[in-house]
Amino acid sequence: MGRPPVIPAEKKTRIVLSVLAGEVSIAEAARKEKVSEQSIGRWKADFLEAGRTAMASGRTGPSTREEQLEAEVAELTTALGEAHLQARVWKKSAEGRLGPSRTSR
């Protein structure tokens, strides 16, 4: 007997949410998705526990991932500004040696 296929977290979440919303029973979802009722029950329990943990931690600010992305955006914005400045300096330097460019007229 082979190992069951790995089900992505997004799909598990959709299944659990449909069970919690009362759209389908655990048995119906298990039949439809070809997994055991125990698996769906475990996903549901894990989902609810993670929700309780998140609520208990009381985090109201941005997540760690959001903080990482904001730092990356700031770094890239700075790098873009520096590159733009270098390009302007090089252009001015070239104009001084070669005369004004056609595009600057």
Integer Cα distance of 100 and 105 in angstroms: 8
pLDDT in tens, 40-62: 999 999 999 998 888 887 766 67
* Confidence band, pLDDT 50/70/90 cuts, at residue 103: low
- 18: its two tokens: 């449909």
pLDDT in tens, 18-38: 999 999 999 999 999 999 999
At which residue do the structure tokens 């996903």 appear?
A: 43
Q: Is 23 left (phi over 0), alpha (psi -120 to 50) or beta?
A: alpha
Within a 10 A sphere around the Cβ of 41, how many other Cβ atoms? 14
Q: What is the DSSP letter of 21?
A: T
pLDDT tops 60 at residue 104: no
Cβ burial 66-102 (10 Å sphere, 16+ → b, else e): eeeeeeeeeeeeeeeeeeeeeeeeeeeeeeeeeeeee
Integer Cα distance of 72 and 79 in angstroms: 10
Q: What is the pLDDT of residue 1?
A: 54
